[in-house]
Amino acid sequence: MRRAPAALALALAALVAAPAAFGASGSLNDPDDDTLADVLRLSYANKEAKVVVRMTYDDYRPQVENFYVRWGTSGKYYKLQRSTNGTSLWYSNGSGESEKTCAGDRVRHDEETSVSTGAVPRSCMPQAPGKVKFQGIVTEGLFDFDETRTSSRVARG
């Protein structure tokens, strides 16, 4: 009979610890539309060593992909951008945007699943706090674009 309270205590401890482990990631769906630049899902993880953002497309990879890591209310963000010119990391302090050098940032695309994954090491984002928000914006040509909602704040973990 003594084992039941111990097992219950372990199960309760697992339930209490689970939100902390899950709190570092999330996803949100984006409505399907009739544009070429169409993000269907945004997934994100705020890990200790890096942030990872995935955008799932409707079978077509847009020309320009922007993976945003945002915080605050004054327009502060890091943006990992993949375009025909290559991949670059940008930082905005809320009043202007500047390109940053980062050896570890990358964007990979899986043609079979129509998923692009952007990753930025935390060492390349010294101004970003522990809790950040995520967003994806993609463009095709001059007028075709899709913008996901911005996620709620996600704790680093």
Under the banding of pLDDT at 50, 70 and 90, the label for residue 30 is: confident
Rounded to 5 degrees, what angle do the CA atoms 150, 154, 155 make?
160
CA atoms within 13 A on the CB side of 126: 3
CA distance 104 to 81: 14
Under the banding of pLDDT at 50, 70 and 90, the label for residue 14 is: very low
pLDDT at 157: 85
CA distance 49 to 90: 19
**Region 60-84 average pLDDT:** 95
pLDDT at 107: 97
End-to-end CA distance of the chain: 37
**Region 49-71 average pLDDT:** 95
pLDDT at 133: 97
Q: Which residues pair with 82 in a beta bridge?
A: 65, 87
Domain 25-147 has CATH 2.60.40: yes
pLDDT at 8: 37
**Domain coordinates of the chain in residue numbers?**
25-147
